Chain A
Amino acid sequence: MVYMIDRVFILVFFYTFLISIMSLDSSSNHPIIPDLYCSEVTSEVIHLDSDDEAMKLNVLWGDSDHDDSDESILLSLLESEHDQVQEQTKSLGQQLRKKTWLINAREEAINWILKVHAYYSFKPETAYLSVDYFNRFLLSHTLTPDKAWPLQLLSVACLALAAKMEERKVPLLLDLQVIESRFLFKPKTVQRMELLVMASLKWRLRTITPFDFVHLFIAKLPCSASTWRDLSYIVSRVSDVIIRTCLVMDFLEFSPSTIAAAALLWVTNQCADEKKSECFHKNIGIEMVQKCYKLMKQKLIIRRSGLYWPKTLQLLPRSPTCVLDHAAAMQESSDAHHKL
């Protein structure tokens, strides 16, 4: 039973995620699909006809089989990424680190963003963008350490902006602040902050994120899993890792494509050697992927218990070798349940 629920989880999440990747909108044609990041999903699993869903997924995924268009899309993304990174100072992490008080305050603010993100079942991209706006704003503005409300207001504004960029349904500005907020800001105040953030970011809110690269990189993996179930598992785990990087300031020096590549290698339990990096794209630096990979190895293990995540994700075991072994392990546990 646990195994079946878990399979539905992965299927549902992958379907939702794939829809956003493919720029398709099917919410009006299908029942509301909960997101894996919502802790309430455990008790509200929607039973889908797995055969039909599998066929749909195969059809949708098949659209990505055109290697030429994939390659041009990837090159386009990398060029846009390079352009955006140039505009942002690469020493973002370094400058933020100089202010000791800001490190803790920033982490607290981002934790708040991630809680609201989980509460409303927003897309992973929304979480990442919120933190991106937050970081870029901090770079260009100085905030006084004695007051806590400016950072809270900034968090609300950044989350609202990201939701408006990415989500189909955006909660009211007041509703966004229902989760553990010490201050409650009027919509007019949040709007002014929104305008200030947008002006500070020069209205460049359409940021390239690691999620833009994930499915393109998965297609390039030499041992890429062929079944949709394995793919959905990989995508959800990679998204999990990417969102966790938002909390660690050290990841700020890496480009989104580097984070995506390292996260994918980390999830599929492969070494970040030269061949693995080259198979993604020649423009992606090998050294940076390796460095990012090592940082993931250090930081994410240490900080795993401290994060706010649905318990179902905590329970997922990490296979020591590869995804296929994990599938085998799940099969064994399924057999064990049958025997009971």
Chain B
Amino acid sequence: MWNEESDWIGSFDSQLARLAECRMCSRDRGERPDATGMDLEVLEVAEEGSYGRVFRCLDIHTGALVTMKQITMVRLSQGVPAPIIREVSLLKELHHANIVKLLRVGLTENRYVNLVFEHLDYDLHHFIVNRGYPKDALTVKSFMYQILSAVAYCHSLKVLHRDLKPSNVLIDHSKRLIKLADFRLAGEFADDLLYTEKLGTSWYRAPEILCDSRQYSTQIDLWSVGCIFAEMVIGQPLVQAINCRDELEGIFKLLGTPTEETWPGITKLMPNLHIYYPKFDALGLETFVTDLEPSGLNLLSMMLCLDPSRRISAEAALKHAYFIDVNYVSLLLL
């Protein structure tokens, strides 16, 4: 956990950066940035993100709506922050219909990196909370297929998203088109994730990460997709806990506390497992996710498999029987 000195130092360093960032942001809080250098007119502040702010803008030339993510560059002793470099470089190489498109990158005031994205109507979190979760089974299936297509594409390029959750799934309402967003944590390193873990929600985090394992791979994204899948069906997050320990306990209540048989290697990963967690019998996914057809429930159980080595891959999930009975043309027509 957080006993390691290096993690503490890293965390402290990040907190200092965040404090500096807050100080800078507070000066600009009431003001809209001048984006004329980006050929954009700022319409409104859409979001205050953890690394900067998000604005809804109008492209002066095309008249199209775009989203501008403005990232403040702090810690000049390190130059351009690594997460910015990684996210932009990644997005530049990801070309997929279900991944948000980065239109251009620009600089303002030698202090901000501005990422201009195509604009989509809203995200899946907003969709579930404000408009009622997609009761239409076909919509759920269509959304799931698109999410898995994007994830399979990323994994084929050896890219982990690492922060899949409904708010990072954007929706084009008229086309019922899904696009994955926010690749700030994507890549191969855990530093940023370790830090974010203390602030962000752990509801979509894979059990091997909640166990504080550093050895993880593409399977963590499949767990997140499984959580999104369940949430689309039942209209709320599957396990809602305020910290990693309670989140893990909620998972164990649902799926059963793991043993060496159900999760080989768990006793080495968590030597004190049975001291910290009661031995739960599995309640079963079917008791929580009641309105899902049998093949969907089967796919969900393969995504929400405690043992990462036995969890289904995105590529295999796309070939699951859950998607066979749907005409793919109708998916596109939705």
- Give A residues with C-beta under 8 Å from B: 20, 22-29, 69, 72-73, 76-77, 80, 157, 160-161, 164-165, 168, 170, 172-174, 187-188, 190-192, 194-195, 198-199, 202-206, 212
Which of B7, B81, B85, B215 is close to A205, meaning CB atoms less than 8 Å apart? B85
In the complex, the answer to whether A25 meets B188 with C-beta atoms within 8 Å is yes
Which of A77, A165, A168, A204 is close to B92, meaning CB atoms less than 8 Å apart? A204
Judge whether B20 is part of the interface by a CB distance below 8 angstroms: no
Name the residue of chain A whose CB is nearest to the CB of B83. A164
CA distance A183 to B205 in the complex (A): 46
Interface of A (DSSP majority class): helix
In the complex, the answer to whether B92 meets A194 with C-beta atoms within 8 Å is no
CA distance A27 to B156 in the complex (A): 24
List chain B residues, Cβ under 8 A from A72. Answer: 156, 315
Stretch of B37-45, B70-78, B128-136 on the interface side:
B70-78
Count of CB-CB pairs between chains A and B under 8 Å: 102
List chain B residues, Cβ under 8 A from A212. Answer: 158
- 8 nearest interchain CB pairs? A164-B82, A205-B89, A191-B79, A206-B89, A76-B156, A203-B88, A23-B188, A25-B190
List chain A residues, Cβ under 8 A from B90. Answer: 206
- Give B residues with C-beta under 8 Å from A: 4, 6-7, 73, 76-82, 85-86, 88-90, 92-93, 105, 107, 110, 156-158, 160, 188-191, 213-218, 313, 315
List chain A residues, Cβ under 8 A from B216. Answer: 24-25
In the complex, the answer to whether B79 meets A194 with C-beta atoms within 8 Å is yes
Name the residue of chain B whose CB is nearest to the CB of A204. B92
Which of B76, B92, B157, B214 is close to A25, meaning CB atoms less than 8 Å apart? B214
B25 to chain A, nearest CB (A): 20
CA distance A173 to B79 in the complex (A): 7
List chain B residues, Cβ under 8 A from A190. Answer: 79
CA distance A158 to B150 in the complex (A): 31
Name the residue of chain B whose CB is nearest to the CB of A164. B82
List chain A residues, Cβ under 8 A from B107. Answer: 195, 199
List chain A residues, Cβ under 8 A from B214. Answer: 24-29
In the complex, the answer to whether A172 meets B92 with C-beta atoms within 8 Å is no
In the complex, the answer to whether A25 meets B189 with C-beta atoms within 8 Å is yes
List chain B residues, Cβ under 8 A from A24. Answer: 214-217
Check A80/B188 contact, CB under 8 A, given A24-B217, A187-B76.
no
List chain B residues, Cβ under 8 A from A199. Answer: 105, 107
List chain A residues, Cβ under 8 A from B160. Answer: 23
CA distance A20 to B80 in the complex (A): 23
CA distance A76 to B189 in the complex (A): 22
In the complex, the answer to whether B105 meets A187 with C-beta atoms within 8 Å is no
Name the residue of chain B whose CB is nearest to the CB of A206. B89
CA distance A174 to B315 in the complex (A): 44
In the complex, the answer to whether B190 meets A203 with C-beta atoms within 8 Å is no
Of the listed residues A25, A160, A202, the one surrounded by the most CB atoms of chain B closer than 10 A to its CB is A25
A292 to chain B, nearest CB (A): 24
23 pairs, A vs B, C-beta closer than 8 Å? A23-B158, A23-B188, A24-B214, A25-B214, A28-B190, A76-B157, A157-B79, A161-B85, A164-B80, A164-B82, A164-B86, A168-B191, A172-B78, A187-B76, A191-B73, A191-B80, A199-B107, A204-B89, A205-B85, A205-B89, A206-B90, A206-B92, A212-B158
CA distance A25 to B73 in the complex (A): 27
In the complex, the answer to whether B80 meets A194 with C-beta atoms within 8 Å is yes
List chain A residues, Cβ under 8 A from B6. Answer: 28
CA distance A323 to B238 in the complex (A): 54
CA distance A157 to B85 in the complex (A): 13
Name the residue of chain A whose CB is nearest to the CB of B91. A203
CA distance A205 to B85 in the complex (A): 8
CA distance A204 to B110 in the complex (A): 20
CA distance A196 to B17 in the complex (A): 24
CA distance A245 to B160 in the complex (A): 30
In the complex, the answer to whether B85 meets A191 with C-beta atoms within 8 Å is no
List chain B residues, Cβ under 8 A from A73. Answer: 156, 158
CA distance A258 to B92 in the complex (A): 24
CA distance A164 to B88 in the complex (A): 12
Name the residue of chain B whose CB is nearest to the CB of A197. B80
Name the residue of chain A whose CB is nearest to the CB of B110. A192
List chain B residues, Cβ under 8 A from A188. Answer: 76
List chain A residues, Cβ under 8 A from B110. Answer: 192
Of the listed residues B73, B80, B90, B93, the one surrounded by the most CB atoms of chain A closer than 10 A to its CB is B80
Name the residue of chain B whose CB is nearest to the CB of A22. B217
